[in-house]
Amino acid sequence: MRLHGRRTDPPGAPVHRVFETHAKAHPGRPALTCGPVSYTYGELNERANRLAHWLLARGVGPGSVVGICLDRSPELVVTLLGALKAGAAYAPLDPSYPAERLRLMTEQLAHADLIAVSPATSALVEHCADKAVEVAGLDLDAFPATEPEVAVDGESLCYVVFTSGSTGAPKATAVRHKGWYNLLEWVTGEFGLGADSSNLMISSFGFDISQRSLMAPLFSGATLHLLPSRSFDVLMASRLIRELKVRTLHCAPSALYLLIQRDEESGGEILASLQYAFVGGEPLSVSRLESWAKNNAGSGRIVNVYGVAECTDVSSFHALTDYADYAAHGVPIGRPVNNTDLYILDEDLRSVAPGQTGEICVAGLGVGAGYLNAPALNEERFVTAPLDGGRDVAVYRTGDMGYVRDDGELMCVGRVDTQVKIRGMRIDLGEVENAVRSCQGVRDAVVLVAGGEPNGGEAHLAAFVIPEPATDGRAAELDSRALRSELLAAHPRHLVPKTFVAVPGFPLSPNGKVDRRALAHQAG
């Protein structure tokens, strides 16, 4: 089964060239704010140009990688743009990560020419002290404020992000300019984003969604606002969204739930300006979105985006409209973005029939350059298959399972590697989570395997549930017996969790996703 994205002309320029076009046409337009600091497009462009010339003088250029270990700050954006202007790729080294995690990441960037740091982050990469440079302290006045003449094309690398690996070691994933340009051109064109489409970056810098959050406003000529906090602070984010009248957000659903909760508590004042919330990275809980979406009909729209870092972040999308259908059947991940094809394939990489479940594989401009220093993994995930009547097609195997509905919308139903065996029965945790979420009185749920080795006892399914609040204002309660009965009426016993734990909310990772490892500690 194959889904085609709309075909557009090939990308004509690297993404930072589009930013430069805005800077030349509207140098006085506000480009960046972070706390009390603000830059116009002209000022930001000149600062990035001077840093690019400094990098080139130091030997950093095409083929280089610049590590960026900085908090959300003006220096982060200047360094990112400066690296791109010098022809290099940049690699986010998120300071919210533990030092040991950063050490594993920098080991995969052994050829990185430089790591940008600040006094607050330098200790996190002290193992790379010989490459660390405090960019805010550089004297750049002697370097030109004009754009450097550096040849960069669509095949050049623009950034390297890290994804989780099954072995526990992060994987360095390289993205090309042509894929990033295609993504940004799609999101700005599809949703009409322009100079008034301001954005607040609230997600972790190391998250692939953050690269879109950083560059989409600068690509469209809008203002980029940075949340001046190392971790996600819902109170600060809420205040800034309201005061700055932020129009777009790119974040994980879990972060949006918290903002919606604050908005509802404030009487709808916080998110009144919001035009689009682009969410992805984890399944959506419809009940945590529905009331806000219905109360804001015609204004704030929620767009469910699907993709993987290896394929430039977003491969498909679905703008939410029919909440009754979602409550019954789940939220689609939609249709492909521009210049992207999605294939649903079986284990032998053969196309499945319409409606059948298979692995979601991505082809097109968004497919990245692969993992750094991991040839065996590249051979496993970036493959060529005889598709489209025998034509060899290069695809990336996402490991996500899905099927195409009769209306042509793609549904994601879990992962190949989230299938577990309990008492010999194969179970997809995503399927169980969707079943629990559909029950009465459940606002959201996460299902994990508890017990078994090394904890002892028999392995079983444990559901962590956020109950729906009571209508009379009382604290939400969870009726585990009623939940189990409702599930047993529609699902086999092996798909029904043994334990149900009521929680007020889920712990979040630095990326803004549910921290399943922290929940697993609670499960024992």
3-state secondary structure of 147: coil
Q: How far apart are CA 307 and CA 157, in angstroms?
A: 19
For residues 383 and 440, is the Cβ–Cβ distance under 8 A? no
**Site of tokens 């994205």:** 5
Q: How far apart are CA 177 and CA 171, in angstroms?
A: 20
For residues 438 and 328, is the Cβ–Cβ distance under 8 A? yes
**Site of tokens 């034509």:** 391
What is the C-alpha end-to-end distance of the chain, expressed in Å?
A: 41
Q: CA angle at residue 151 from 150 to 154, to 5 degrees?
A: 135
pLDDT tens digit string along 392-434? 999 999 999 999 999 999 999 877 766 565 665 557 787 788 8
For residues 114 and 83, is the Cβ–Cβ distance under 8 A? no
**Site of tokens 């920098």:** 106
Q: Which two tokens stand for residue 449?
A: 């395997």
Q: How far apart are CA 51 and CA 19, in angstroms?
A: 16
Please report how the helices 41-57 and 15-25 are oriented relative to each other, as an axis angle in degrees rounded to 10: 130
Measured between alpha carbons, how far is residue 439 from residues 32, 468, 478 in Å? 44, 10, 11
CB count in 10 Å sphere of residue 459: 16
Backbone angles phi, psi at 91, to 5 degrees: -130, 115
Backbone angles phi, psi at 8, to 5 degrees: -130, 170
Q: How far apart are CA 274 and CA 266, in angstroms?
A: 15
Q: How far apart are CA 208 and CA 521, in angstroms?
A: 27
Peptide bond into 454 cis (omega under 30): yes
How do 37-40 and 30-34 pair as beta strands? antiparallel
For residues 89 and 179, is the Cβ–Cβ distance under 8 A? no
**Site of tokens 């649903």:** 344
pLDDT tens digit string along 210-222? 999 999 999 999 9
What does DSSP assign to residue 35? T
Q: How far apart are CA 183 and CA 189, in angstroms?
A: 10
3-state secondary structure of 224: strand
Q: How far apart are CA 94 and CA 392, in angstroms?
A: 38
For residues 150 and 87, is the Cβ–Cβ distance under 8 A? yes
Q: What is the pLDDT, as a whole number, of residue 455?
A: 43
**Site of tokens 């489209």:** 388
Closest by CA position to 167, among listed 104, 109, 209, 112: 104
Q: What is the pLDDT, as a whole number, of residue 293?
A: 84
Give me the domains of the chain, ranges plus CATH numbers: 2-329 (3.40.50.12780), 339-414 (2.30.38.10), 423-523 (3.30.300.30)
3-state secondary structure of 301: strand
* Residues in a beta bridge with 502: 465
- Please report which residue ranges of 314-447 form alpha helices under DSSP H: 323-329, 375-381, 429-437
Q: Which two tokens stand for residue 16?
A: 């930072």
Q: What is the pLDDT, as a whole number, of residue 227?
A: 96
Q: How high is the mean pLDDT in each 10-residue block of the chain (524 residues)?
A: 91 90 98 97 98 97 96 97 98 90 86 92 92 95 96 95 69 95 97 98 92 98 96 95 97 92 91 94 85 73 95 97 88 97 95 94 97 93 91 95 94 75 66 87 90 59 90 76 89 85 86 79 65
Using a 10 angstrom Cβ sphere, with 0-12 exposed, 13-18 middle and 19 or more buried, the burial of residue 362 is buried
3-state secondary structure of 39: strand
How do 391-404 and 382-387 pair as beta strands? antiparallel
* Residues in a beta bridge with 16: none
Helix (H) or strand (E) holding 191: none
Q: How far apart are CA 264 and CA 58, in angstroms?
A: 52
